[in-house]
Amino acid sequence: MTLTSLPSGIDMGELRKLAATAAKIQQATGATDTDGLVPAISYLRVSTKDQATRNGLEEGLSIPAQREAAQRKADQLGAVIVKEFIEPGESAKTAQRRALQDMLDYVTENPVQCCIINKVDRLARNRLDDAIIHATLRDANISLVSVTENIDETPSGMLMHGILASMAEFYSLNLAQEVLKGMTQKASMGGTPAKAPLGYLNVRTTDAKGHEIRDVTVDPERADLITFAFTAYATGDWTLSSLAAELEARGLTTRPTPSFPSKPVTTKALHKILTNPYYQGSVMFRGVTYDGAHDSLVDTETWLRVQTELAAKNQRGEKPRTHDHYLKGTLYCSCGAKMMIECPTGKSGITYEYFTCSGRRKKNGCTRSAILIDRIEDRIGLHLRHQRPHPRRGRSCPRSARSRLRPARSHHRPRTCTPDHPEGETRRRATQARPSPLRRRHPARPPQVRARAHPHHPRRHRTPTGEPRHQLRGRP
């Protein structure tokens, strides 16, 4: 059949689009050697980092077990797994997961017929996210296959899928509620519901009956340095930056973790330590303070003096400044962050002074570039010149303020000329005789013409005193 012999009702644009789509599918299918098997993908996930690295293995124990189960399921379906997506240590309460988003992007561009998962809760623990992911896969003509559950496209399979998704969401919400209840009870009893701060250690011991006991003990390597930090800052002779440098020189470092090595305590971390009531023996959880059962590293009086010093040095203009300027601490960017001073030195040795946005350094989305200090000073001076009151407009002080600031007349101008004094009486008469030059002279008002009242108006039949006129008849 040639193009001239095609029926007139066929849309040529749609035909070309179908041909191009078929070519892409054929090219993609040829690129992936499936040996005639059904192309499939698998999605593997564990909830915590501990599961992903358990027993010192690179993938832990759960990920390899899920991979083997997915491979057995693929063999039963006569499919071959062409792509594997692994999510190590990510919660399924949100769909914003890197491997999941990569999988959804992959299925829109590659011919896949099956998506194999171990359980429904591996894909999502939220019914809305589960419905969106399932709809995305169905739009791409991909069947969702569970290794341990029957969730095919039959009515009973779809009902089972909805029930399992609801159970997965209930499990997550109920577990969070139970964990929160246990942590609140532990805090009310003086325990530490979270990781102990620097200067303490979380330890696990076993009692005589083999029960595990989780407790908090004092860190012998860092406890004395934490106590020194409180005692030194309470004197008022230290700043956060100088005290952090002193603690670094004395050897105070953070606790190492499998992901991060130990490092010196920064100024921000030191401020967090000094404001933490845990060191005085209190446990704060969800906005409520409880008496802790752990050993305190500082007494309450010293801790309160530290808070007073921090509040006093937090006032504007009282912080030690490397680059001091009279406008520092008073300028704000349009994004709401403070403007800070930077003094870079060029290759020629010339130092340039700029005001830059502190929010841009914190990556809050601000795009304001650095501004030279001279330009800011010129703009502020120009603004203040425009704010200066005009000499003909009088004082810029409000009238209410002038009335409070102006002293009484009898205090600043004694009245020596009184009516009892002859000279005073003469001056008073002379003042009354001539009008004051400061008093306005209004033009004479025209005589008021009183309108005649209506014949039946009550005012016509009454006297100026209000009495009826008929009562005045007969009076002399």
Per DSSP, 426 falls in state H
47 is catalytic: yes
Buried b (16+ CB within 10 A) or exposed e, 139-156: ebebbbbbbebebeeeee
Q: Pick the catalytic residue: 47, 62, 146, 172? A: 47
| End-to-end CA gap in the chain | 134
Distance between CA atoms of residues 116 and 42, nearest Å: 5
Query: For the sheet containing 354-357, what is the strand order?
Result: 339-342, 354-357, 371-372
Residue 448 is predicted with a pLDDT of: 53
Local confidence band at 330 (pLDDT 50, 70, 90 cut-offs) = confident
Task: Identify whether the C-beta of residue 359 lies closer than 8 Å to the C-beta of residue 335.
Answer: yes
Q: Among 50-54, 281-285, 304-308, whose mean pLDDT is lowest? A: 50-54
Which one, of 146, 158, 155, lies nearest residue 77 by Cα? 146
Mind listing the domains of the chain with CATH numbers? 23-173 (3.40.50.1390), 200-313 (3.90.1750.20), 321-388 (no CATH)
C-alpha pair distances (Å), 148 with each of 70, 74, 119, 159, 278: 10, 13, 6, 16, 47
Distance from chain centroid for Cα 285: 20
Q: Where are the alpha helices (DSSP H) in 119-219?
A: 120-123, 127-139, 155-188
Distance between CA atoms of residues 107 and 98, nearest Å: 15
Q: Among 173-177, 185-189, 295-299, 367-371, whose mean pLDDT is lowest? A: 367-371
Of 138 and 472, the structure prediction assigns the larger pLDDT to 138
Residue 405 is predicted with a pLDDT of: 42
Distance between CA atoms of residues 353 and 372, nearest Å: 6
Residue 83 burial (CB < 10 Å; 0-12/13-18/19+)? middle
pLDDT in tens, 127-165: 898 999 999 998 889 999 999 998 888 899 889 999 999
Distance from chain centroid for Cα 112: 41
Say if pTM beats, i.e. exceeds, 0.85: no
Q: Is the pLDDT of residue 230 over 70?
A: yes
Per DSSP, 295 falls in state P
Q: Is 389 helix (H, G, I), strand (E, B) or coil?
A: coil
Residue 452 is predicted with a pLDDT of: 54
Distance between CA atoms of residues 142 and 147, nearest Å: 16
∠ at Cα 285 (280, 287), nearest 5°? 100
The average pLDDT across 34-47 equals 85
Buried b (16+ CB within 10 A) or exposed e, 426-436: eeeeeeeeeee
Neighbouring residues of 29: CB distance < 8 A, sequence distance ≥ 6: 39, 111
